[in-house]
Amino acid sequence: MDNTTIKPTEPKKDVKGELTYEDKVIQKIIGIALENVDGLLTVDGGFFSNIKDKLVNSDDVTSGISTEVGKKQVAVDMDVVVEYGKDIENIYDQMKKLISEEVDKMTHLDVIEVNVNVVDIKTREEYEEDSETVQDKVTSAAQTTGKFASKQTNRAKNAIGNQTDKISDSMESEPRVQ
C-alpha cells in the first residue's frame, strides 16, 4: 500500500460572491424564536393565524411578521396578542433579545429595530376558546361542504347510470351491425 498523505487544498483567497437572505428566512427565524415567549399568545392574532395554528400542520410561523432585510441589517415589525395580566414591556424586551440573538447567531445580520404593535389582549382561556371557535366553524364548514359534494357526486352517478340504461335498452332492441 502507498502511504501518501492527501493534503486538503487551500481555498482560493479571491473567491467572489454574495450571501443574501429572503425576508421569509428571517421571518421564520423570528417566528420560531418567539414560539415560547411566556405571555405572547400569538403573532398577528387574526382569524387566519388561528386557522394555521389549530388546523393546518404548517410550519408557517411567519404570519404577522414583516421584515426589511439589508446586506448587514434587519428591521422587524409585527402585530401581537398578549396574555392578560402579563408584563407587556417585559414580553417586548424578551422578544427584542431573542430576535436579535437568533438572527445574529444564524445570519450575522444586525437587528437594528423591532417594532411590536399589541393588537389585542386576552386571557389564556379567551384565546383558547376563540381558537376552538374558529376550529369548530371551519370543521363544520368542511363537513357541510363534504356532504354537499357527496350528494352532488351521487346525483351525477345516478344521471350517468340512467343514461347508460337508456343506451343499453336502445342497443338491445336494434343490432348495431348486420
Mean pLDDT across the chain: 79
Q: Is a pLDDT exceeding 80 seen at residue 30?
A: yes
DSSP the chain: ---PPPPPPPPPTT--------HHHHHHHHHHHTTT-TTEEEES-SHHHHHHHHT-----TTTTEEEEE-SSEEEEEEEEEEETTS-HHHHHHHHHHHHHHHHHHHH--EEEEEEEEEEEEE-HHHHHHHHHHHHHHHHHHHHHHHHHHHHHHHHHHHHHHHHHHHHHHHHHHS-S--
The pLDDT value given to residue 42: 86
What nine digits make up the cell of 104? Answer: 445574529
Write down the pTM of the prediction: 0.60
- Higher-pLDDT residue of 80 and 1 is 80
Q: Average pLDDT, stretch 150-165?
A: 74
Q: Is a pLDDT exceeding 80 seen at residue 135?
A: no
Reported as a pLDDT band with limits 50, 70 and 90, residue 151 is: confident
Q: Average pLDDT, stretch 121-132?
A: 84
Q: Average pLDDT, stretch 24-30?
A: 93
How far apart, in whole angstroms, are the C-alpha atoms of residue 90 and residue 69?
26
Q: Is a pLDDT exceeding 80 seen at residue 166?
A: no
Q: Is a pLDDT exceeding 70 seen at residue 68?
A: yes
Q: Could you report the per-residue pLDDT of 81-100, keeping only the tens digit for each?
A: 999 999 999 999 999 999 99
